[in-house]
């Protein structure tokens, strides 16, 4: 990847565009018949991927774009676990028996908001319904402020083998501005604790584009990160969407960095992580040699879903918990977002799906193109598929050196410079994009 694109190109291509963690994107979801969801679930077989959403957080980080519920009472997690397991029963009753779990991901919110005993009960309950595959990925997102040595040991004991820590930055002024007070030592202790127990895959999440971030201080944070040596690093650009997340408005008072600084911070990250031995993966991930993301990218089997870039091609994905999204057999299904509504539906013995989409053959074709571009920075299509209009709209991108259309017009390769503009390039193949962007539903690309 080119470290930094010229400012003229950044300005030229700045727009609002999806991050394509799904295609079609969530704004296209609408009411979906229960029979459609049931039929898709019943038709699947083989190992599964399960996402579990724990929405609770103790306090709100001002940059947050997740579906969260600020909660003071940790005991509420016990009831939430009961309902999650009841929801999983509803899914299992609709699927063929004998399915196993190849991937489990707990995200949020803050999964470690749950008390350790509730966490252990949740995992035992999932295991009893869906046996864990011997070589599976069992991952959890951790807010380092919520775990002590005992809690981390519990997570290891109950079978997690992948740990992802939200860090964002180590600079005090930045953390103060976004209301996420967390020290370097708390992160360092957590990693040391896990490393005493085994050779686990550890990811750190960073964020750029936050108030008070500057080249020198962000460079220092990156030095701490490379010293901690996680096997993966995800670097997300802050998505300012105050019309959806009103708390973000407060950050405008502290000053949100403009595009040239954001580009410089991104370039600095590429340079520093590259020098420390990390491979750039897709749009915003980095991994050490030996990590599965590196081999997946090399073999063209990298995937993208609501968790970002992953391995695990072709698995049916089930989502439980408020607001979770699943994708199985060409059907997206998203749960109700309000906890009371979600629970009431499950209490009635019904899946708490609120919206979704059964993909048309055209959606499936375009989904394949967009995911290939996002994961492999290249796409090929059969000669009988016609994308004349799209190729026409790619001409300015090609003229600016961002992509190369194959001479036989059956594919596109993204250049290293063009990788910075991958959201723009993918939007060319998104048949809903023009209507969507007019309603300002997405964050800016740069």
Residue 430 touching ligand SF4 (CB under 6 A): no
Q: Among 57, 152, 228, 353, which residue sits at the site for ligand SF4 (rule: CB under 6 A)?
A: 57
Residue 321 touching ligand SF4 (CB under 6 A): no
Residue 437 touching ligand SF4 (CB under 6 A): no
Which residues, including other chains, have CB under 8 Å from residue 361's CB and lie 6 or more apart?
A: none
> How far apart are CB 143 and ligand SF4 at their closest, in Å?
5
> How far apart are CB 408 and ligand SF4 at their closest, in Å?
46
Q: Among 10, 52, 61, 207, which residue sits at the site for ligand SF4 (rule: CB under 6 A)?
A: 61
CB nearer to ligand SF4: give 80 or 374: 80
CB nearer to ligand SF4: give 142 or 394: 142
Q: Among 68, 175, 293, 402, which residue sits at the site for ligand SF4 (rule: CB under 6 A)?
A: 68
> How far apart are CB 250 and ligand SF4 at their closest, in Å?
13
> How far apart are CB 70 and ligand SF4 at their closest, in Å?
8
CB nearer to ligand SF4: give 225 or 315: 225
Residue 109 touching ligand SF4 (CB under 6 A): yes
CB atoms within 10 A of CB 267: 17
Residue 110 touching ligand SF4 (CB under 6 A): yes
CB nearer to ligand SF4: give 66 or 358: 66
Residue 105 touching ligand SF4 (CB under 6 A): no
Residues in contact with ligand SF4, counted by CB under 6 A, come to a total of 11
CB nearer to ligand SF4: give 61 or 280: 61
Q: Among 5, 24, 77, 108, which residue sits at the site for ligand SF4 (rule: CB under 6 A)?
A: 108
Contact flags string 117-156 toward ligand SF4, x per CB under 6 A = --------------------------x-------------
Residues 190-249 that bind ligand SF4 (CB under 6 A): none
CB nearer to ligand SF4: give 108 or 319: 108
Residues 151-180 that bind ligand SF4 (CB under 6 A): 166
Q: Among 60, 78, 241, 261, which residue sits at the site for ligand SF4 (rule: CB under 6 A)?
A: 60
CB nearer to ligand SF4: give 87 or 143: 143
SS3 of the chain: the string is: CCCCCCHHHHHHHCCECCCCCCCCCHHHCECCCHHHHHHHHHHCCCCEEEEEEECEECCCCCCCCCCCEECCCCCHHHHHHHHHHHHHHHHHHHCCCCCCEEEEEEEECCHHHCCHHHHHHHHHHHHHHCCEEEEEEEEEEECHHHCCHHHHHHHHHCCCCEEEEEEECCCHHHHHHCCCCCCHHHHHHHHHHHHHHCCCEEEEEEEECCCCCCHHHHHHHHHHHHHHCCCEEEEEECCCCCCCCHHHHHHHHHCCCCHHHHHHHHHHHHHHHHHCCEEEECCCEEEECCCHHHHHHHHCCCEEECCEEECCCCCEEEEECCCCEEEECCEEEEECCCHHHHHHHHHCCCCCEEEEEECCHHHHHHHHHHHHHHHHCEEECCCCCCCHHHHHHCHHHHHCCCEEECCCCCEEEECCCHHHHHHHHHHHCCCCHHHHHCCCCCCECC
Residue 64 touching ligand SF4 (CB under 6 A): yes
CB nearer to ligand SF4: give 24 or 166: 166
**Footprint on this chain of ligand SF4 (rule: CB under 6 A):** 57, 60-61, 64, 66, 68, 108-110, 143, 166
């Amino acid at each position: 990847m080119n470290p930094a694109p010229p400012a003229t190109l950044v300005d030229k291509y700045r727009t609002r565009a999806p991050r394509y963690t799904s295609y079609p994107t969530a704004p296209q979801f609408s009411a979906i018949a229960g029979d459609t969801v049931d039929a898709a679930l019943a038709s699947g077989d083989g190992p599964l991927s399960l996402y579990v959403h724990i929405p609770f957080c103790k306090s709100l980080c001002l940059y947050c774009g997740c579906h969260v519920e600020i909660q003071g009472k940790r005991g509420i997690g016990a009831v939430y676990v009961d309902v999650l397991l009841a929801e999983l029963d509803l899914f299992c009753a609709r699927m063929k028996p004998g399915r196993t779990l190849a991937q489990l991901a707990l995200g949020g919110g803050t999964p470690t908001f749950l008390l350790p005993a509730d966490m252990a009960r949740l995992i035992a309950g999932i295991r009893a319904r869906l046996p864990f595959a011997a070589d599976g990925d069992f991952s959890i997102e951790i807010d380092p402020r919520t775990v002590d040595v005992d809690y981390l040991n519990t997570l290891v004991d109950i079978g997690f083998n992948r740990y992802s820590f939200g860090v964002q930055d180590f600079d005090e002024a930045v953390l103060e501005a976004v209301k996420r007070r967390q020290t370097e030592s708390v992160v360092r202790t957590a990693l040391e604790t896990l490393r005493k127990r085994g050779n686990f895959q550890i990811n750190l999440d960073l964020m750029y584009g936050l108030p008070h971030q500057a080249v020198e201080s962000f460079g220092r944070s990156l030095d701490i990160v490379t010293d901690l040596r996680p096997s993966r690093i995800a670097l997300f650009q802050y998505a300012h969407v105050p019309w959806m997340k009103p708390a973000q408005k407060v950050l405008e008072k502290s000053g949100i960095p403009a595009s040239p600084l954001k580009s410089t911070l991104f370039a600095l990250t590429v340079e520093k992580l590259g020098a420390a031995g990390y491979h750039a993966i897709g749009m915003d991930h980095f991994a050490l040699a030996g990590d599965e993301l590196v081999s997946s990218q090399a073999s063209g089997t990298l995937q993208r879903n609501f968790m970002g870039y992953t391995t695990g091609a072709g698995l049916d994905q089930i989502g439980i918990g408020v607001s979770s999204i699943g994708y199985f057999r060409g059907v997206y299904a998203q749960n109700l977002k309000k906890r009371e509504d979600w629970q009431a539906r499950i209490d009635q013995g019904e899946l708490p799906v609120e919206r979704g989409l059964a993909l048309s053959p055209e959606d499936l074709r375009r989904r394949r193109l967009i995911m290939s571009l996002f994961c492999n920075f290249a796409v090929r299509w059969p000669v009988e598929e016609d994308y004349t209009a799209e190729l026409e709209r790619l001409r300015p991108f090609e003229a600016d050196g961002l992509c190369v259309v194959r001479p036989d017009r059956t594919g596109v390769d993204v250049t290293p410079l063009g990788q910075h503009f991958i959201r723009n390039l993918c939007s060319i193949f998104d048949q809903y994009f023009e209507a969507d962007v007019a309603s300002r539903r997405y964050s800016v690309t740069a």
